[in-house]
């Protein structure tokens, strides 16, 4: 179990979200006075309710059809963390934006909560395209996708099989499959992986026979002298007023924590396989110059076909790009989507 705890500490960057430390430009709970906001609900192909926040610019000309962007939150987060900030900032630039809660998280359906299911997460993005395509103010031929942290890998997974996603961008992306198979910087051995899977499988059987659900550590609930730097980075976001958010009916101490028994599903998740088939649709990968997750954006960029771009933000770490509005390249994102959703 000690080995697993150390592993989860390394992988904690998987479970990140927002910000409000204004001294560092963090503004996770930003509320724009330039956009309209509406909570919406629609079905994915599994007939599960997906809940999102839909934002539209107040200055949009009546009767016009807007380009749209589906936005996914960091793994373990919810739409109120990071993705709604991005959605509002981009809506201010003339887009209809939809920040969704992935299934099993936040207000979206799925029992038990916090279950890992990359296939269903992927479908949530396509379901968002279905929904947006029915809206009279959206041009269904001009829909893009933006995935933050773990949602970057789900967005890529969706784009490979949904050509309606015309432009793909990721920020601080995590390849959730590679992260759990190999650890950061390939720090996990195959034997450690097998031990991890065995622990998750044993917990699955325990729950099947009536045992309580167990969760992986995720973001720690308190710091001590031995807390790793990556965990401190996430703690500052998830466990402080900067970005902490507890969905209705949940326990604050369990936010960001996936079910241990389902975590093995990431072992079979290979979002970058066949990433080159997304071409000729454009891809933009944004990462911080000292982000611990940078390896995943660089790997995706290397594998992807043209047109593609890797954009490295100076003086930025992984969580910095969740909510630090002085560092997030909103203008770059707006330009990318305006150019490619003409």
**For residues 330-342, average pLDDT:** 97
pLDDT for residue 24 is more than 90: no
pLDDT for residue 15 is more than 70: no
Q: Strand pairing of 49-57 and 96-100?
A: antiparallel
Percent of the chain with pLDDT over 70: 93
Cα 322-325-331 angle, rounded to 5 deg: 100
**In whole numbers, what is the pLDDT of the chain averaged over residues?**
93
pLDDT for residue 329 is more than 60: yes
**Domain coverage including residue 117:** 2-340
Q: What is the pLDDT of residues 168-215, one digit of tens each?
A: 999 999 999 999 999 999 999 999 999 999 999 999 999 999 999 999
Query: What is the pLDDT, as a whole number, of residue 217?
Result: 84
> For the domain that residue 27 is a member of, what is the CATH number?
3.40.50.1820
Q: What is the pLDDT of residues 175-187, one digit of tens each?
A: 999 999 999 999 9
pLDDT for residue 14 is more than 60: no
Q: What is the pLDDT of residues 54-70, one digit of tens each?
A: 999 999 999 999 999 99
Residue 207, exposed/middle/buried by CB under 10 A (0-12, 13-18, 19+)?
Answer: middle
Place 133 in a pLDDT band, splitting at 50, 70 and 90.
very high
Confidence (pTM):
0.93
Q: What is the pLDDT of residues 223-279, one digit of tens each?
A: 999 999 999 999 999 999 999 999 999 999 999 999 999 999 999 999 999 999 999
Query: What is the pLDDT, as a whole number, of residue 10?
Result: 42
The count of domains in the chain is: 1
Cα 153-24-85 angle, rounded to 5 deg: 45
Query: What is the pLDDT, as a whole number, of residue 148?
Result: 98
pLDDT for residue 2 is more than 90: no
pLDDT for residue 18 is more than 90: no
Place 218 in a pLDDT band, splitting at 50, 70 and 90.
confident
Query: What is the pLDDT, as a whole number, of residue 6?
Result: 43
């Amino acid at each position: 179990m000690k080995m697993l705890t150390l592993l989860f500490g390394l992988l904690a960057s998987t479970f990140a979200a927002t910000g409000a430390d204004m001294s560092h430009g963090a503004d996770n709970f930003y509320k724009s006075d330039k956009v309209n906001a509406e909570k919406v609900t629609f079905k994915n192909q599994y007939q599960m309710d997906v809940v999102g926040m839909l934002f539209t610019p107040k200055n949009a000309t009546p009767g016009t059809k807007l380009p749209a962007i589906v936005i996914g939150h960091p793994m373990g987060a919810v739409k109120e963390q990071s993705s709604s900030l991005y959605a509002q900032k981009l809506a201010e630039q003339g887009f209809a934006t939809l920040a969704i809660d992935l299934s099993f998280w936040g207000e979206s359906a799925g029992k038990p909560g916090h279950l890992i299911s990359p296939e269903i997460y992927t479908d949530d993005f396509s379901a968002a395209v279905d929904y947006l395509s029915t809206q009279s103010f959206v041009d269904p031929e001009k829909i893009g996708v933006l995935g933050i942290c773990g949602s970057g890998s789900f967005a890529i997974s969706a784009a490979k099989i949904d050509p309606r996603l015309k432009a793909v961008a990721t920020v601080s992306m995590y390849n959730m499959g590679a992260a759990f198979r190999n650890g950061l910087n390939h720090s996990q051995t195959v034997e450690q992986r097998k031990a991890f899977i065995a622990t998750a499988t044993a917990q699955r059987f325990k729950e099947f026979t009536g045992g309580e659900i167990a969760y992986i550590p995720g973001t720690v609930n308190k710091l001590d002298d031995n807390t790793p730097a990556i965990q401190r980075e996430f703690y500052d976001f998830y466990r402080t007023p900067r970005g902490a958010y507890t969905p209705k009916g949940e326990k604050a101490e369990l936010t960001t924590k996936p079910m241990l028994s389902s975590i093995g599903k990431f072992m079979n998740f290979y979002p970058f396989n066949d990433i080159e088939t997304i071409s000729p649709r454009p891809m933009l990968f944004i990462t911080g110059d000292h982000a611990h997750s940078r390896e995943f954006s660089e790997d995706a960029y290397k594998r992807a076909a043209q047109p593609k771009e890797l954009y490295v933000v100076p003086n930025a770490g992984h969580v910095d790009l969740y909510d630090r509005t002085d560092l997030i390249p909103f203008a770059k994102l707006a330009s990318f989507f305006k150019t490619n959703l003409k």
